[in-house]
Structure 1
Amino acid sequence: MTVSTASATAAKAAPLEAGAARKAIDRVGLPGWIQAMPFGLVFLFFFVIPLILVVIVSFWDYNDYEMLPSFTTRSYTETFEGCLTQLPDLCTILKTYLSTVKFCFIVWVTTLIIGFTVAYFLAFYVRTVTMQMVLFLVCTIPFWTSNVIRMISWIPLLGRNGLINLALERAHLVDKPVEWLLYSPFSVGLAFTHLFTFFMVVPIFNSMMRIDRRLVEAAYDSGASAWQTLWNLIIPLCKPGIVIGSIFVVTIVMGDFITFDVMGGEQIASAGKVVETRLNALQFPPAAANAVILLVVTLMIIVGLNRIVDVRKEL
């Protein structure tokens, strides 16, 4: 009995001693700011410093051959040149940004509807976790290939002699090929939706998996319909995922120019295309100025989204 009692006492004391040892290690451990320093240095050297350099270059002067390190607002004034004199008409740069924001809104709506539907199906209609993960991985298959390859794969379908036009003509639904399927705003929006819907699926699916299923059952037991449960319970609880996915989509679309070129036939202007054109002309200060303007516009949209949900609490 004495040995058994001693063993039981030792077994009870072991967790206490382990906890005390962990507390002692925590007390002598490194401060949090030192532990975060490597990540802070990476953020500093690869984001903050390059951003500061871009802002500095945007205020430099330039000519046809070189940049001149002297302070001037020439790049900004030339960018918005004529905006005040053309009122109430919009100048070229404002039309370009308005067009980019319009595409951003359209893509956001389409990706949100499709992404929410896919995430809702995976979270609430697929019962087993294994099947959820399998189907979720299936959604990642398109990301195993390049964005450019996925874009140009639409051309054989949407072109004048593409499969869709051939099918429409053989079904006698049209007399001649439909022109607006390719190299048009429709094809640009379609490509964006195809490329970036997954950025909506992932955060929304993550938010839905955190929802306590007992809340859903309680809503149904209280007599709520499927639509009432979706609108009053699931969507409010999914707001963090919706906002995070929206930030991903908005930031990517606002800075994109390759999709506009490939799917728009270089006929649709975009804010990213303005920066790319300036860089090709070796006009680095105007390119930096337009990059800063694009960054400010994108940050304004992100701040507006953060007004809905504090994303920092979800990360």
Structure 2
Amino acid sequence: MSNAPTPLPSSARIPARQPGVAAWLQALPIGLVFLVFFVVPLALIVMVSFWHYNQYELLPGFTLDNYAQIFRGCADLSDPCVTLRTYWSTLKFGVLGWAITLVLGFTVAYFLAFHVRSSTVQMLLFILCTIPFWTSNVIRMISWMPLLGRNGAVNQWLMELGIINAPIEWLLYSDFSVVLAFVHLYTMFMIVPIFNSMMRIDRSLIEAANDAGASGWQTLVNVIVPLSRSGIIIGSIFVITIVMGDFVTIGVMGGQQIASVGKIIQVQTQYLQFPLAAANAVILLAVVMMMIWALTRLVDIRKEL
């Protein structure tokens, strides 16, 4: 005779518990903060992007002229317009910054999580990684100038060693210096979420892979990377969103010679072209949201966390 329990009829099953009033009241403060400081300003930016303007004032109404002005002359892809070139430059820095910070962040996080056995040493090394954040971004960027300038320390050392005969011009005020500054400023945003994901990996899985004869590379690719993907995606979102909107770093390290969407928005704001700046901000937001959407398709972050 089977002792399996008899299932309850559907009418007798306990209904799923619905969130009560207390849960909604608990979520109300953060919901109000989100509404006031995110939804409302974003809605205002979108609204202003459709307004008219002149040299003196904003003219409420509805027009697509701001968006048309941004993309005017962009139909010929063989000769990209200023807007497409600017977005391409911004996207290039975003991808390069993301790729390099991902490699460095993953390497540092892997070392801290799996090669440092003492939790005290882990914490000390982790704090050491945060030291650059004890000063402002501008100071950290300016600190590169005595090193990378035409008469800077790097060129002087290379010339004294006989490696070069003349100073290297592209070390500063170039794409190289911009990417270098991005890596210096934002690698920590990649290290933290990846390290957090790696510390949550069950070490018995690593031991099981080793017992099964997997090499270190196979364990890394088939066990550690898949289990760290939530941290990788979160770090990628942090870096991409910050880099795509950054204009200070590009301005300082590029010598005001490299264009970016953020810099264009800043200039348009200075000249009181607020609807045009708002339209550029909306387009940039749409581009970044598409990139984030593509990243979140790779992994369900809510399920992984």
Tell whether the structures are fold-level matches, with TM greater than 0.5.
yes
SS in 2 for 1:71: coil
Q: Which has the larger radius of gyration?
A: 1
Q: Which one of the candidate residues 76, 81, 88 is aligned to 2:67?
A: 76
Q: In the aligned structure 1, how far is the partner of 2:255 from the partner of 2:288?
A: 25
Q: CA deviation at 1:313?
A: 3.0
Letter in 1 for 2:46: V
1:5 aligned residue? none
Structure 1 gaps of 5+ residues are 1-26
Q: In the aligned structure 2, how far is the partner of 1:83 from the partner of 1:129?
A: 55
1:280 matches 2:270: yes
How high is the TM-score relative to the length of structure 2? 0.92
1:167 matches 2:171: no
2:180 aligned residue? 190
Q: Larger deviation: 246-255 or 269-278?
A: 269-278
1:249 aligned residue? 239
SS in 1 for 2:125: helix
Q: CA deviation at 1:298?
A: 0.3
Letter in 1 for 2:161: A
Q: Which one of the candidate residues 218, 227, 232 is aligned to 1:228?
A: 218
Q: In the aligned structure 1, how far is the partner of 2:152 from the partner of 2:134?
A: 25
1:129 matches 2:119: yes
Map Cα deviations across residues 122-152 of structure 1 (whole Å, 9 max, x no partner): 0000001111111111111110100000011
Q: Sequence identity, in percent? A: 64
Superposed, 1:1-315 pairs within 5 Å as 30-84=21-75, 86-314=76-304
The list of structure 1 runs, each at least 4 consecutive aligned residues, that deviate by more than 4 angstroms after superposition, is: none
Figure out how many residues of one structure are paired with residues of the other and give that number.
288
Q: In the aligned structure 2, how far is the partner of 1:233 from the partner of 1:114?
A: 19
C-alpha change, 1:219 and 1:314, in structure 2 (3 Å) is closer
Letter in 1 for 2:199: M
Q: CA deviation at 1:73?
A: 0.9
Q: CA deviation at 1:314?
A: 4.3
Letter in 1 for 2:160: R
Map Cα deviations across residues 80-115 of structure 1 (whole Å, 9 max, x no partner): 01111x332211101111111111111111000100
SS in 2 for 1:64: coil
Letter in 1 for 2:141: M
Structure 2 gaps of 5+ residues are 1-17
CA RMSD of aligned residues (A): 1.4
2:4 aligned residue? none
SS in 1 for 2:297: helix
How high is the TM-score relative to the length of structure 1? 0.89
Map Cα deviations across residues 25-66 of structure 1 (whole Å, 9 max, x no partner): xx9x85211110000000000000000000000000011111
Letter in 2 for 1:55: V
- Structure having the higher helix fraction is 1
